Structure 1
Amino acid sequence: MVPNQQFLIDLAHTKMPFGKYKDRYLIDLPEYYVVWYHSKGFPKGKLGLMLEQVYELKLNGLEDIIRNIKKQFPK
C-alpha cells in the first residue's frame, strides 16, 4: 500500500486525543476549530500533520473523501 493511502486511512479513523472535542473524529471537528489551529499552529508530529490535512480538506470541501475511506476501510 502506498504510504499516502495509509495516512488517509489512519486519518479517517483518528479521534482527537484531548481538549473540548476529545474522542471526536478529526474529520468531524468543527471548521472554526481547525481554522483556529491553523492560525495558532498545529501540534507537532502525526496529529499535527493530520490536522493540517483536515484543514486543507475542509478548506476545499472534500471531507466526504475521508468519510468514504472510513466506510471502505473499517477498523
Structure 2
Amino acid sequence: MKPEDLQLLVTRTMPFGKYKGRTLADLPGHYLNWFARAGFPPGEIGRLLALMQEIDHNGLKPLLDPLRQKRSPFG
C-alpha cells in the first residue's frame, strides 16, 4: 500500500456495476466481501477494492474520516 492509496479511497469512484459512481470508501461491506470471495478485478481498481475490503472488515473505516475532511471543495 502506498500512502496516497488512502486518499484515493475517499476520492475515486466505482467505475462499474451496481454501485457505479459511489466513492470506494462508501461501498457497502457486503459488496466488498463479494469481491473478496469472487476475486478482485485486475489493476489499480482491484488493489484499491482489496484495501477497502480489508479496512472495512477490520472496522477501520473511521480512520478515513480525516481524509474526507481534508478534501477541498475546489478539487
TM-score of the alignment, normalized to the shorter chain, above 0.5: yes
Task: Give the alignment's TM-score, normalised by structure 1.
Answer: 0.86
Q: Shift in Å at residue 73 of structure 1? A: 3.6
Q: Could you tell me how far apart the structure 1 residues matched to 2:33 and 2:54 are?
A: 10
Paired position in structure 2 for 1:37? 35
Where 1:34 maps in the other structure, the secondary structure is helix
Amino acid at match of 1:6: E
Paired position in structure 1 for 2:60? 62
Q: Could you tell me how far apart the structure 2 residues matched to 1:73 and 1:6 are?
A: 13
Q: CA RMSD in A?
A: 1.5
Runs of 4+ off more than 6 Å: none
Task: Give the alignment's TM-score, normalised by structure 2.
Answer: 0.86
Q: Could you tell me how far apart the structure 2 residues matched to 1:39 and 1:14 are?
A: 22
Amino acid at match of 1:65: L
Aligned runs of 1:3-22 on 2, under 5 Å? 4-22=2-20
Structure 2: any 5+ residue segments left out of the alignment? none
Paired position in structure 2 for 1:23? 21
Q: Percent identity?
A: 36
Q: Shift in Å at residue 28 of structure 1? A: 0.9
Count the aligned residue pairs. Answer: 73
Q: Shift in Å at residue 66 of structure 1? A: 1.9
